[in-house]
Amino acid sequence: MRTNFDFAPFRRSTVGFDRLFDLLESGTRGEIADGYPPFDIARESEDSYLITLAVAGFRPDEIEIIAQQNQLTVTGKRAEDTDEGQYLHRCITTRPFERRFQLADFVEVRSAEFQNGLLSIALQRVVPEAMKPRKIAIEGSPANDRLEGPKGDREVA
C-alpha cells in the first residue's frame, strides 16, 4: 500500500505555499518527534493561544525558548546529577529534548511561565494595521434621491 503523496502538481500551480508543502511532506516521512515532552495547545480567545509542556525534573534555567520567524523552539538540557544516592526506581525522565512548533504568520510569543513542572508559553496573533481589513470609501455622485415631476422639483422623504 502506498502511503506517500506527491505534492509536485500542487507546487507547480501555487505561489508562496512552499512552507506548507514542506510541513506536509516531512509529516508523511515520519520526521515527527517522539512525543517527549508531552504538551497541550489551548486556544484562549480568537487571537491568543497557550502551549503547556510537562517538563518535570527540569529547572527554569535548564530550559531555553527561542522564537525565530515562524518557529518556536523549546530546548531542555539538564545539568549532570551530583547526587551520590542510589535510585531503586527512576522513571522521571530528564533526557535532553528539543520541541519545535510551527507558528502562523503574525503569531508572537507574549510570555513564558514555569510552575509546578509545567512550562506555559502564551502566544498572541498580532496582525499589523496594514494587513487588517479596512473599509474603502466610494467616491462619486450621491445616489439619486430626488424625483423630478411635471410640477417642478420635489424631494422624496
* Alpha helix segments (H runs only) across 13-147: 18-28
Q: Give the integer Cα–Cα distance in Å for 40 and 23.
A: 20
Of the candidates 23, 103, 26, 31, which has an alpha carbon nearest to the alpha carbon of residue 71? 103
Alpha carbon of residue 141 to chain centroid: 46
Model pTM? Answer: 0.65
Four-CA torsion 27, 20, 51, 109, nearest 10 degrees: 140
CATH topology of domain 34-80+88-128: Immunoglobulin-like (2.60.40)
Block residue for cell numbers 506555559 = 120
| In the chain, where the domains are located | 1-32, 34-80+88-128
pLDDT in tens, the chain (157 residues): 455 667 677 666 666 666 676 766 665 444 445 688 999 999 999 889 999 999 998 999 999 999 998 899 999 998 776 666 788 888 887 889 999 998 988 899 999 999 999 999 999 999 888 877 888 889 887 666 566 666 655 555 5
Of the candidates 50, 5, 60, which has an alpha carbon nearest to the alpha carbon of residue 27? 5
